[in-house]
Chains A and B, each alone.
Chain A
């Protein structure tokens, strides 16, 4: 029995070592590519090439689609921020997915909307709206009340109502920077290629002060949990996605802020409720559809259009969010398993999807299993020297801090959203701290999400993360 355990632990250690080396090698390559692409883009963007787009009469209109469910705390701020975007021609479609709070009432009251009977052409399967709200004083704004049927259906309803050739999905708890839509559309318009998706960066607004739908003052929250998430978001968006973008292998774009080509989405069947993360799923669906049709296309990520969102403030909410993300990614990979290692899908099929499957999905299970089961067995039963374990742990943490600190430095070089040195130093400190405890906790949540995917095939409901609302200069959660 002892021999068996020794062998088991020995081979498991090899698996861990391989995983450790492969994952960190992958992240290092991505880090290198991201450094190159983000810093170059920042230099290019410093030339202010967006003024031409803003003034140009040939810039196409964009519909902004917001699916909202129980978002009374932030919805008005979000809509205000979107109405004030620096973009010539836009329409704003807010879909209230049967909220049980006062989301709809707050919109109606703030924008003096009137209920109307409008035409609804159901090109994508979405179900019938209950009502439409509009006010000619805000001609670009339309609110649709839907019976509660999930985010995918709500988004599809918004697309059905939208008239523009492109639409931008925005989460109801997000604040978009004034030029962000313009920056997001820039690669679509300035590329000779057929860009069907353009994704931007999501950052955390906890601790910032809002005024009339704009970030009036940058700040940091006081809670460690939120600070860790801020560093984590910076790392993900500065050191992951730009790298995949350079390889033309974007597998994920955040649905919180993303521009999509309407006809491509309709061709792909729209947002599906087969997975709990419809934003990951739609990218795979579009890729599959356009590849099968033989249409050349690009899915892009741009590193400077920024959308600010509210991060979970409690571990419970964080657990719910991360579990859902991981579950959604697993479901999408499982549903599109024929794309993995399939050269037809280019770098996405050959690199990005395998990486997400083996490192992002299975990796967290391996990590959680190792931490919870193998390390204790190895230490207690097999007498592995503690110093080996501690040294490897130190190396893992040190490497994690390198990635996190590198991303904060990249943020400082390129986007510079934190004007105070104190804030940057706090983030640098949390780039170390988040590797001790926070990261492991998140790994467990993610591993649980993966395991859950085996029993949960379909989930139609919103996994709602409670938002307390971002601070405005009146101190409350909502601008009235």
Chain B
């Protein structure tokens, strides 16, 4: 048996210890709150004090030596942090060199470099930057495994991120050095800084990193490297050329996809002149024939930016590719007014055996404006393929095409017949929910898509359109229609009310089943 007295003593001591720790925790919170309050007060004061001289320095009214002597009066941590933040905030465009100089003279750069690479190496790196002397070879650092631990790398990652903000002359030396860091956290911070800087020298480095990532030779995530790479402008695409024929299909895919993203980000209309000749030829001749499905599929999304006859021919061929993903991406690539010539080719894909391709075809046609929409309506009316019809009508509902079309039901022109035919086919397919919804709510017919309900009166044409819509819906009455009719009969004046009342009293209304389920493909 355990000695009761001893047990009691242990329990008492444990309890007292725990209570003492609890008390320490309370005091810790109080102290922390107070020290944070103090820190931020001092920092705010320092920001107020130093903002003006930094502003003057950036405007060229104060020399860097004068600024540095002013900023050196910031000695406390809060003040130094304020100076650092103010300078880092102003690191942009033309200021970068001058601000980097100030940061360097104030000792911030040395501090970050020491944190990131160790004191000795930091001195070597800074000396190399300042004097241009040859950089001594990096000594193999010990404890790589320990340095990989998250516990020891967060500080380094933060330092590397700060160094990445500097002027290119400084930043590129530090970034190259950071490539040797064993921690993926530091690597990510480094790559992220490269993306932010958008400097020319970074592209080959990032491409090499992307290749290593694809080969599994480093621990950087694809997302980080790609994000950094695609931030660079289209003018740097020539640096991609040496990598295009890499044997690794995953890398080729990442390369093509990065080029696609860079093209997407371009703010002007692209043409063949914006692409290096070799890259242009590679896409048209090799990428479209690549053994990798992903490369072929993504190449279509780049070729679309060529905007010429060769691109048109390449896309037309890819629309018939044996692989569904290639067809799918090619169809999406064609969503550009320049390729309106391909509308009928895309239209043929609406009867594709794969639903993703059908869906992409419908969505792409809907982006072609009136011509695409007309093609959709024609296809919808002409096709006997149930799946194609379902796909088309889904997009016509979701994109608001049906609602935009409905006023034609009240018109006298040629659109009347087309709108009537589309609605009749919808009713026959059992796709009546939207039509019934619109019939029951007069304001919705007048105005679609507005977040604030319209207070506009119903126009005559809208009323005529609704009457016609009701006639069409009566081809195949549903429980929802009966509900809408009851609403019409109780709420409205005019011909629709009479019509609703007469339908509700008819035998046909009694035969309508009580509930209905949504259809599925």
Question: Using a CB–CB distance below 8 Å, which chain A residues touch chain B?
Answer: 36, 40, 43-44, 47, 49, 52-53, 56-59, 111-112, 114-122, 128-132, 134-137, 139, 189-192, 387-388, 391-392, 394-395, 398-399, 401-402, 405-406, 408-409, 412-413, 421, 424-425, 428, 432
Contacts and interface: CB of A to CB of B under 8 A. Distances in A.
A394 B188 CA distance: 49
Contact of A56 (B223, B400, B438): B223
Q: Which of A47, A111, A402, A408 has the most CB of B within 10 A?
A: A47
B217 to A, nearest CB: 11
Nearest to A10: B1
Interface in B401-434: 403, 430-434
Given A47-B161, A190-B221, A117 B519 contact: yes
B25, B228, B430, B450 — most chain A CB neighbours (10 Å): B25
A209 B377 CA distance: 50
Interface in B367-409: 390-391, 393-394, 397-400, 403
A388 B4 CA distance: 9
Contact of A391 (B15, B227, B393): B15
| Interface residues of B, dominant DSSP | helix
Nearest to B218: A192
Interface residues of B, number: 74
Given A36-B151, A44-B154, A129 B226 contact: no
A44 B26 contact: no
A443 to B, nearest CB: 20
A230 B157 CA distance: 34
A120 B418 CA distance: 27
B397 A117 contact: yes
Given A57-B265, A136-B398, A424 B29 contact: yes
B135 interface: no
B11 interface: yes
B398 A118 contact: yes
Given A57-B265, A409-B29, A40 B518 contact: no
Nearest to A48: B161
Interface stretch (B16-24, B44-52, B90-98, B346-354): B16-24
A402 B21 contact: yes
Given A192-B219, A395-B18, A47 B518 contact: no
Contacts of A394: 11, 15
A128 B518 contact: yes
The 8 closest A-B pairs by CB, nearest first: A56-B227, A398-B18, A117-B431, A189-B223, A115-B433, A136-B400, A119-B521, A115-B437
B19 A137 contact: no
B264 interface: yes
14 contacts: A44-B185, A58-B226, A58-B230, A59-B227, A111-B451, A118-B397, A120-B518, A129-B517, A130-B518, A132-B433, A136-B448, A192-B221, A398-B19, A424-B29
Contacts of B399: 136
A189 B221 contact: yes
A129 B185 contact: no
B199 to A, nearest CB: 16
A192 B216 CA distance: 9
Interface in B469-518: 480, 517-518
B227 A58 contact: yes
B437 A392 contact: no
A395 B11 contact: yes
Contacts of A391: 8, 11-12, 15
A44 B159 CA distance: 12
Given A57-B265, A112-B453, A421-B33, A402 B520 contact: no
Contact of B154 (A40, A129, A409, A432): A40
A137 B8 contact: no
Contacts of A398: 14-15, 18-19, 22
Contacts of A139: 398
Nearest to A396: B15
Contacts of A388: 4, 7-8
B92 to A, nearest CB: 15
B449 interface: yes
A11 B33 CA distance: 48
Contact of B518 (A44, A114, A129): A129
A413 B32 contact: yes
A71 B261 CA distance: 41
B104 interface: no
B331 interface: no
A408 B25 CA distance: 9
B195 interface: yes
B272 interface: no
B154 A412 contact: no
Given A137-B451, A189-B223, A405-B25, A118 B230 contact: no
B397 A116 contact: yes
Contacts of A387: 8
Nearest to B437: A115
B22 A132 contact: no
Contacts of A190: 188, 221, 223-224
A464 B519 CA distance: 30
A406 B24 CA distance: 10
A114 B443 CA distance: 12
A52 B397 contact: no
A432 B18 CA distance: 12
B147 to A, nearest CB: 15
A392 B390 CA distance: 70
Nearest to A406: B25
